[in-house]
């Protein structure tokens, strides 16, 4: 007997707009012989499925398993409904137009099918702007919603008849692919070289390859901004690139031709490979292998390589021509400015310092840098969240509508609340830079317009000097100020949709505390609405204030002065000798004594600075957090020892510093000292957490704050806490540094509003 067909109403929530979801359902329905409809709505995708009994389960399973790569399904609900049978399957226009659809897909790396089209389709042979519903630019070109070609920077290109046929054919991979283009109707590259404009792609590829092979520099327009490229194996070229970027000291990211090339230079574990080849194509921090070496100037002495794989069609075409395994591909900006997006700006600013500027005639509307991911304990952790991830929303366990969180200052991202979702901005940067500040205010305006958010409440940091705090204060809206380290912890609670109370270990460089001191080595017990500071690193003077973060020797002297007072002069330590020689010792001692420009701090980042300087690993820095990064890089992997410390109300690390001084004086090598220091900090985390847990009965721990970008510390702390039976949470999809803090600000503000 033939089973009776039944009709189901299926509701899919998640990131399902602008990623080819409806055509996917259409094709799947065909495969399963299902009649009915699929439609977009402001709250997801709705399907009416008239299906023979028994098939519904496999249909639902196929939706989950075969969904378009850039979609993200949060929930699927289905229920049987009484409805007359359907004939055929249709994509229908949304009936509910009460609220606009405000989902925007992130940019997606070119897909395999499109790469194949570049080899086969006559109108797309070697055409570097090929894309489809499964791939191509999205956020970077969207000006407004609804997501139609007219509202993107593709507006100026009129579709040819063959592209339009694909665009309108529901069975085509390019059905409603807004950036659809071919060689006849789409954008084109142009190369500016020695004042001449070259427009033939074949000649462009030859010229760019020749320049790169000869050790030259090329500015290359990417998806979300301009990049600077050079041969990653040529020290001369890398050196020139550093000069062009005004002596930038940070390691450069590298694009490898393929996975095999990556493996020649770096160790790639399974989870790292998964990230490398993902459609988001982030930069993945890998450990060097030592089989083949890149130019030393790429990594600047660090044992890691920031590696990525090609993600634009042009990258593939270039590597076909170019017999090199890897290119440095670093953001096209001068020192701390945001990555350039405007063609004229790029020609003007990057033209003079490079041998050629490669551009194309499609405008970049939303700036997005490359994202950075690091895999620790087999879990990918975001370090910089931009291209490929932004503006995918985060589901919130509470309503965030109408809240704008303005973030911190140095590594800024902001966040807007939309219904039960939070939408985090792309990486913005250091707001103290004027161009970055302009980018920040502009991006906030764009997010408000794009996502139809009208803020009624603004959340910001406690620090009155942060430009993001001033932005909030000037909004003339109600403002909630959130303590920096509470926000770090609350961000993790929001990301993992956690409720209740947690032990929060919040370690970072700096954040203003509610007592007016600079915090950063904090143990809290908190929920969304409140925090209790349980204990922290004992306060120590920070001579020179913010300057201490750039000059680690200052913190070394501060710790030594606390230990030895005036006898600091007699210490036989390189950092003291150097300060004496440069006439800096007495002034620093005086600053501390007279409390001139010397705030008190409990910062963990500053303790890392002090130890980096004491061991001679890093006494002056060229970029943010260089000292802790160098200290981590130096650590021996075999040394298991630990240093002593005291605990009484607050955590006293002076015994630790004293033991380190002894080790330095005894000629113990810095890699041993660094390893012992890392184990000691992990020891602090475990012992203090256990203590707090005993008092409060809480067994859930959150580790957050920039210090946890340190792989050794995070790995060790997570494993040891697990071993002790704790449930441990850490940011995964959002940066552990201040780039994730806006989410916590938003969560705290939303919780306050509830009550």
CA distance 293 to 334: 27
Residues paired with 357 in a beta bridge: 192, 219
Which range of residues in 135-143, 152-160, 204-212, 501-509 is near Fe ion by CB under 5 A?
501-509
The answer to whether 135 contacts Zn ion (rule: CB under 5 A) is yes
Which range of residues in 210-218, 443-451, 502-510, 596-604 is near Fe ion by CB under 5 A?
502-510
Sign of the CA dihedral running 430, 433, 439, 445: positive
409 binds, among Fe ion, Zn ion, none (CB under 5 to 8 A by kind): none
| Closer CB to Zn ion, 69 or 636, in the complex | 69
Neighbours of 423 (CB within 10 A): 24
Residue with tokens 């946890």: 708
132 binds, among Zn ion, Fe ion, none (CB under 5 to 8 A by kind): Zn ion
163 binds, among Fe ion, Zn ion, none (CB under 5 to 8 A by kind): Zn ion
The answer to whether 337 contacts Fe ion (rule: CB under 5 A) is no
The answer to whether 610 contacts Zn ion (rule: CB under 5 A) is no
CA distance 325 to 87: 55
414: DSSP letter: -
Residue with tokens 């009994």: 53
The answer to whether 19 contacts Zn ion (rule: CB under 5 A) is no
160 binds, among Fe ion, Zn ion, none (CB under 5 to 8 A by kind): Zn ion
Give the DSSP per-residue string, 546-578. Answer: THHHH-HHHHHHHHHHHHHGGGGGG---HHHHH
The answer to whether 461 contacts Fe ion (rule: CB under 5 A) is no
508 binds, among Fe ion, Zn ion, none (CB under 5 to 8 A by kind): Fe ion
Least separation, in Å, of the C-beta of 315 and Zn ion? 15
How many residues touch Fe ion (CB under 5 A)? 3
CA distance 442 to 485: 27
- Kindly list the distances between the CA atom of residue 376 and the CA atoms of 262, 556, 730, in Å, as whole numbers in the listed order: 19, 29, 11
| Closer CB to Fe ion, 542 or 614, in the complex | 542
The answer to whether 56 contacts Zn ion (rule: CB under 5 A) is no
Which range of residues in 24-32, 450-458, 503-511, 631-639 is near Fe ion by CB under 5 A?
503-511
571 binds, among Fe ion, Zn ion, none (CB under 5 to 8 A by kind): none
Binding mask 150-189 for Zn ion (x = CB under 5 A): ----------x--x------------------x-xx----
Cis peptide bond N-terminal to 468, omega within 30: no
CA distance 262 to 268: 8
Helices and strands (H, E) in the chain, number of each type: 24, 32
φ, ψ dihedrals at 432, nearest 5°: -70, -20
What's the first-to-final CA gap in the chain, in angstroms?
59
3-state secondary structure 690-733: HHHHHHHCCCEEEEECHHHHCHHHHHHHHHHHHHCCCEEECCCC
Least separation, in Å, of the C-beta of 127 and Zn ion? 9
Residues 94-153 that bind Fe ion (CB under 5 A): none
Contacts with 200 (C-beta within 8 Å, 6 or more apart), sequence order: none
What is the token pair recorded at 144? 């407004």
525 binds, among Fe ion, Zn ion, none (CB under 5 to 8 A by kind): none
Q: Within its chain, how far is the Cα of 210 from the centroid?
A: 33
CA distance 413 to 415: 7
481 binds, among Zn ion, Fe ion, none (CB under 5 to 8 A by kind): none
Least separation, in Å, of the C-beta of 84 and Fe ion? 59
Which range of residues in 89-97, 110-118, 222-230, 395-403 is near Zn ion by CB under 5 A?
110-118
| Pairing between β-strand 44-52 and β-strand 35-41 as defined by DSSP bridges | antiparallel
111 binds, among Fe ion, Zn ion, none (CB under 5 to 8 A by kind): Zn ion
Residues 507-536 that bind Fe ion (CB under 5 A): 508, 511
CA distance 351 to 217: 10
| Closer CB to Zn ion, 109 or 607, in the complex | 109
- Kind and range of the H or E element at 190? strand 189-193
613 binds, among Fe ion, Zn ion, none (CB under 5 to 8 A by kind): none
The answer to whether 692 contacts Zn ion (rule: CB under 5 A) is no
| Closer CB to Zn ion, 179 or 552, in the complex | 179
Binding mask 726-755 for Fe ion (x = CB under 5 A): ------------x-----------------
Residues binding Fe ion (CB under 5 A): 508, 511, 738
Residues binding Zn ion (CB under 5 A): 111, 114, 132, 134-135, 160, 163, 182, 184-185
């Amino acid at each position: 007997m033939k089973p009776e067909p039944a009709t189901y109403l299926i509701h899919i929530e998640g990131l399902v707009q602008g990623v080819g979801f409806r055509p996917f359902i259409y094709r799947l329905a065909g495969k399963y012989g299902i009649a009915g409809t699929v439609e977009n709505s402001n709250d997801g995708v709705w399907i009416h499925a008239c299906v023979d009994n028994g098939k519904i389960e496999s249909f639902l399973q196929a939706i989950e398993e075969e969904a378009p790569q850039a979609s993200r399904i949060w929930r699927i609900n289905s229920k049987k409904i009484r409805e007359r049978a359907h004939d055929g399957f249709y994509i229908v226009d949304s009936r509910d137009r009460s609220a606009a659809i405000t989902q925007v897909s992130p940019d997606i790396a070119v897909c395999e099918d499109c790469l194949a089209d570049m080899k086969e389709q006559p109108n797309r042979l070697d055409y570097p702007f090929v894309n489809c519903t499964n791939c191509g630019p999205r956020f970077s070109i969207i000006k407004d919603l609804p997501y139609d070609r007219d509202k993107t920077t593709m507006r100026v290109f009129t579709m040819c008849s063959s592209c339009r046929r694909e665009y309108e054919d529901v069975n085509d991979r390019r059905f409603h692919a807004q950036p659809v283009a071919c060689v006849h109707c789409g954008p084109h590259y142009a190369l500016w070289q020695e004042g001449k404009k070259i427009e033939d792609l074949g000649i462009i590829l030859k010229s760019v390859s020749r320049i790169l092979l000869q050790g030259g520099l090329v500015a290359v327009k990417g998806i979300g901004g301009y990049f600077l490229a050079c041969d990653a194996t040529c020290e001369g070229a890398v050196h020139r690139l550093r000069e062009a970027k005004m002596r930038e000291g940070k390691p450069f990211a590298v694009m490898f031709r393929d996975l095999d090339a990556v493996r020649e230079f770096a160790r790639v574990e399974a989870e790292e490979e998964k990230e490398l080849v993902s459609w988001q194509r982030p930069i993945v921090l890998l450990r060097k292998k030592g089989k083949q070496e890149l130019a030393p100037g790429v990594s600047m002495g660090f044992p890691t390589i920031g590696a990525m794989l090609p993600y634009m069609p042009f990258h593939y075409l270039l590597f076909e021509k170019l017999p090199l395994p890897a290119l440095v591909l670093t953001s096209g900006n001068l020192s701390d400015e945001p990555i350039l997006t405007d063609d004229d700006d790029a020609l003007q600013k990057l033209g003079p310092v490079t041998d050629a500027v490669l551009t194309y005639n499609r405008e970049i509307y939303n700036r997005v840098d490359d994202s950075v991911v690091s895999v620790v304990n087999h879990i990918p952790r975001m370090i910089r969240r931009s291209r490929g991830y932004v503006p995918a929303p985060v589901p919130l366990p509470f309503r965030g509508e109408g809240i704008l969180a303005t973030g911190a200052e140095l590594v800024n991202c902001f966040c807007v609340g939309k219904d039960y979702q939070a939408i985090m901005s792309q990486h913005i940067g250091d707001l103290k830079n004027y161009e970055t500040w302009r980018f920040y205010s502009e991006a906030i305006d764009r997010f408000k317009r794009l996502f139809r958010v009208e803020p009624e409440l603004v959340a910001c940091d406690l620090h009155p000097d942060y430009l993001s705090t001033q932005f909030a204060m000037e909004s003339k809206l109600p403002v909630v100020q959130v303590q920096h380290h509470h926000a770090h912890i609350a961000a993790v609670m929001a990301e993992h949709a956690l409720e209740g109370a947690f032990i929060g270990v919040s370690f970072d460089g700096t954040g203003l505390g509610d007592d007016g001191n600079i915090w950063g080595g904090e143990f809290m017990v908190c929920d969304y609405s409140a925090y209790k500071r349980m204990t922290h690193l004992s306060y120590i003077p920070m001579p020179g204030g913010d300057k201490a973060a750039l000059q680690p020797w200052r913190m070394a002297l501060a710790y030594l002065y606390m230990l030895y007072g005036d006898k600091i002069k007699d210490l036989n330590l390189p950092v003291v000798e150097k300060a004496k020689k440069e006439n800096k010792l007495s002034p620093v001692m005086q600053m501390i004594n007279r409390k001139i420009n010397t705030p008190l701090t409990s910062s963990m980042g500053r303790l890392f600075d002090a130890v980096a300087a004491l061991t001679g690993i890093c006494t002056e820095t060229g970029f943010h957090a260089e000292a802790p990064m160098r200290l981590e890089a130096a650590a021996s992997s075999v040394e298991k020892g630990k240093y002593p410390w005291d605990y009484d109300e607050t955590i006293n690390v002076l015994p630790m510093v004293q033991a380190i001084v002894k080790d330095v004086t005894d000629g113990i090598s810095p890699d041993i000292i660094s390893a012992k220091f890392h184990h000691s900090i992990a020891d602090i985390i475990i012992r203090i957490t256990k203590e707090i847990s005993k008092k409060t009965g809480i067994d859930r721990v959150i580790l957050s704050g920039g210090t946890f970008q340190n792989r050794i510390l995070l790995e060790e702390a997570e494993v040891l806490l697990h071993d002790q039976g704790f449930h441990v949470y850490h940011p995964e999809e959002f940066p552990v540094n201040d780039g994730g803090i806006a989410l916590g600000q938003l969560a705290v503000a939303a919780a306050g509003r509830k009550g």
